[in-house]
Structure 1
Amino acid sequence: MPNLSVKLDEATRNRLLAVAADQGITPHAFMVKAIGAELAQAEAEAAFVARALAARAQVIATGQVIDGSAFADYLRCRVRGHPAPRPSAEAIAECVETRA
């Protein structure tokens, strides 16, 4: 496995040593765990942004959206365990006119 060197100031190094000792793991294991968690978070955020951009592109391409109030009502019913039909997409112009 390749090495990667990390330079830490003394205060951060001391914090690392103390926290790793409290968790009963080595400073190396703590850093590997922390880097893994941060990478997972960054990847999750990137995936979220990608889904949002794809949804935006779909709205632009189709001009179809689901009314937010209707979808909120649908979710409230579902959370309460009641059956509810999922709102259908409609032209964005219709949705905007309804709310104006």
Structure 2
Amino acid sequence: MSTTTIRLTEELKARIARVAERNGTTPHGFILGALEEKVDEAERRRGFIDEAEHRWQGFLNDGQVYAWEDMRDYLARRARGESPALPAKKTFGHEP
């Protein structure tokens, strides 16, 4: 395990110590946990953004979308435990 130095204000250091004690851990353990949570959050957010960008590119490439009415029905059926087929995609901006 490597060592990294961070500079904390005295106020933040005291707050961390109080919270860590109340949570039954050490300041070091609390800081490690907080960093892990923040990294997990950043990775999830990046994954979400990457997926959104991928889907946006797919839309730009083919202009195909699911009509909200069809998707709403599909999701309602899934929520009831059914296994419906995914609705057909439609070209954006064109009525069937």
* Alpha-carbon distance in 1 for matches of 2:20, 2:9: 16
* Alpha-carbon distance in 2 for matches of 1:46, 1:30: 24
Whether 1:37 aligns to 2:32 is no
1:78 positional shift: 1.2
Mind listing any 5+ residue stretches in structure 1 that lack a counterpart? none
1:9 paired residue number: 9
Kindly report which structure 2 residues correspond to 1:1-80, keeping only aligned pairs within 5 A, or say none.
1-80=1-80
> Identity of paired residues, percent?
28
4+ residue runs of structure 1 moved beyond 2 angstroms?
Answer: 81-85
Structure (1 or 2) with the greater helix fraction: 1
Mind listing any 5+ residue stretches in structure 2 that lack a counterpart? none
1:82 positional shift: 3.4
Q: TM-score normalized by structure 1?
A: 0.86
* Alpha-carbon distance in 1 for matches of 2:74, 2:60: 24
Q: TM-score normalized by structure 2?
A: 0.89
- Which residue identity is paired with 1:81? G
How many pairs were matched up? 96
- Which residue identity is paired with 2:9? D
- Which residue identity is paired with 2:27? P
Q: SS state of the match for residue 93, structure 1?
A: coil
